[in-house]
Amino acid sequence: MTTEEAKIMEGRLFAPGDPELKAIKLRTHNLCTEFNRLLEDEAAERDKITRQLFASFGEGSFVQGPIYIHYGCHTEIGKRFFGNFNLTIQDDGLVRIGDDCNFGPNVTIVTPVHPMLPDERRALLDEKGERKHLCYARPVTIGNDCWFGANVVVCPGVTIGDGCVIGAGSVVTRDVPAGSFAAGNPCRVIREITEKDSVRLKPELWAANRPE
C-alpha cells in the first residue's frame, strides 16, 4: 500500500495526483477499456479482466458492461452479483458489496469528497508545505440481497443494510437500515419490506410459473 493509499484508508486528506495512485488508476482504466471492447459472448476474456480489476469478484458474479471503475483494488464484490449497463464505481475509498446483489443500469457509487470552499478545492498545503489538490474519501458498504433500480447514486460514507430495495433515480446520502424500501432524492426510507410484498400475492403475474 502506498503512503497516499494509507491516508485514504485512514480517512485523511490525500493527493489524487500522486504518481503511484495515478499508476493504479491508469492500469484500472485501461482494463476497463479492454473489457468494454470485448463482445458479450467473449465471456472467458471478460471474466479474466474482472478478476484483475477488483480486490475480489465472487463466484457467479457478472457485469454487463460497459463498466467504469476508478481503482478497482479498493472494491470487493460478493457472490452472484449482477451489474447492468454503465456500472460506475469511484472507489478511492473502500467499496464492499455483499452477495446476491442486483444493480440496474447506470448505478454509480462514489467515495471521494472534495472541499466545499473553492480556494480549498484548488489547493491545500500538504505535510511538506507544498500546494496540492487534496481530497478525502469515505467507504461505502452494501449488504447482501440488495436490489438497486436504474440510475441510483450512492454517496460517500453510506452503509446500506441487507435485503434493501433502492428505487430508481435515488441519491443515497445517508445509511439505509436492513430490510427497507428507500427511494428519492435525497433518498429516504419509505417503509419496511414485508411478506405482503411477495409475488405470491399477485396471481396475475404467474401464468405457468410457480413459487419454489
Residues that are catalytic: 114
Considering only CA atoms, which of 29, 31, 5, 28 is closest in space to residue 18?
5
CB 189 within 8 A of CB 182: yes
- Per DSSP, 31 falls in state H
Lookup: cell for 106: 447506470
Q: Is 41 exposed, middle or buried (0-12, 13-18, 19+ CB in 10 A)?
A: exposed
How far is the CA of 174 from the CAs of 31, 94, 160, in angstroms?
31, 17, 9
CA distance 135 to 10: 13
